[in-house]
């Protein structure tokens, strides 16, 4: 498992946020569509219009709340799991890996 669970969770919730945002957009377009219908005189669209608007605000709210939570997670983890901004990650440990690998080979040969 290359990534620990915590990270997986975070990624999944970020994906969910993305989908929420998308559906917000969809609801917006639906709302505008229903307004248009209303303007034409199609009165019975009123309830639909309400629904669409409500779902727009609903999904927007959910997305916002989730994003806020994510940002808070980021904040909490900067010192521990995440590096601070201006430090570059270095690929250390590769020499150990190679050494280990060669010792294994040696062992294999010697046996």
Partner 1 sequence: MSNRGLLEQLERTTETLSHSLSNLIKYSSVAKERDDEDSGEQHELPESTAKNSTSGLMMVNAQTAQLIKGIQDLLVMTRSIREKWLLTQIPDEGVDSQSELDYEKCSQLLKQWTQEVVSSEE
Partner 2 sequence: MAGEEPQANGFRSDSTYKKPLAIDPNLIRPVPSFASPTADSDNDHKDDQSQPSTGVTQPLVNNPYETFGNMPLDQLIPLILQSRGPGTKFADLTEESLMEEIMKDAPLPQAQQDSDGDLDMDGSQLTNDPGQRTPEPQQIEGPAQADEDAVLSQEQFRQLKASTVQSLNLAVNESSLALEFVSLLLSSVRPSAANASMSPFLKKTVPPASLNAEKIPFQKPSSDEVLERSLIAKGWKQRSLEESRTLLKDSYLALEKSLKKEHSYWSKVSHNISKKDVVFKMKDRETGEKSLGIKYGYEDSGSTYTQERGIAVLRHNSKLDNLELVPADRQQANALGKENNEKFVRVRIFTKIEEEDDYILTGESHLDKLLIPNQVAGEQNDFRRQISRLKFFIFEKDLMYQLKRESENLISYGVSIENENKITIEFPTEKLELETMHVNDDVIMNHQQDAPKTNDRKATLVLIMLRMLLVVIYKKQLRKKLLCPQTSIGASAKSPKVHKVVGRLQDNEVLLLRPIIGKFKHESYVSLLKKIIKGFVLDVVEGSSVRKVENPSNTVTIKDEVVYDNHIAKLDKEIHLFDKILEMPRSDLLVETPKAGTILFLLQSSNYCNATTGVKYTNGAGETLFDTSFSNFKELEDFLHFIVSEYVSGGQENGVKYE
Binding site for partner 1 (CB under 8 A): 3, 7, 10-11, 14, 17-18, 21-22, 24-25, 28, 31-32, 35, 39, 53, 56-57, 60, 63-64, 67-68, 70-71, 74-75, 78, 80-83, 85, 89, 93, 96-97, 99-100, 103, 106-107, 110
Residue pair 17/70 in contact (Cβ under 8 Å)? The answer is yes
Distance CA 45, CA 25 (A): 20
Residue pair 18/43 in contact (Cβ under 8 Å)? The answer is no
Query: Within positions 44 to 73, which residues make up the interface with partner 2, using CB under 8 A?
Result: none
- Measured in whole angstroms, the distance separating CA 51 from the mean position of its chain's CA atoms is 27
User: What are φ and ψ of residue 92, in 5° steps?
Assistant: -90, 170
- Residue whose structure tokens are 């975070």: 10
In the complex, the smallest distance separating the C-beta of residue 65 from partner 2, rounded to whole angstroms, is 20
Report if residue 15 touches partner 2, rule: CB under 8 A: yes
- Where along the sequence are the contacts to partner 2 (CB under 8 A)? 2-4, 7-8, 11, 15, 18-19, 22, 25-26, 28-29, 32-33, 35-36, 39-40, 89-96, 98-99, 102-103, 105-106, 109
């Amino acid at each position: 498992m290359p990534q620990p669970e915590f990270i997986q969770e975070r990624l999944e919730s970020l994906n969910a946020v993305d989908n929420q945002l998308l559906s917000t957009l969809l609801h917006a377009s639906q709302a505008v569509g229903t307004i248009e219908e209303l303007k034409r005189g199609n009165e019975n669209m009123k309830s639909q219009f309400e629904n669409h608007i409500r779902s727009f605000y609903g999904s927007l709210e959910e997305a916002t709340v989730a994003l806020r939570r994510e940002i808070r997670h980021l904040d909490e983890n900067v010192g521990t799991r995440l590096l601070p901004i201006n430090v570059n990650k270095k690929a250390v440990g590769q020499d150990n890996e190679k050494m280990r690998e060669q010792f294994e080979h040696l062992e294999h040969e010697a046996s």
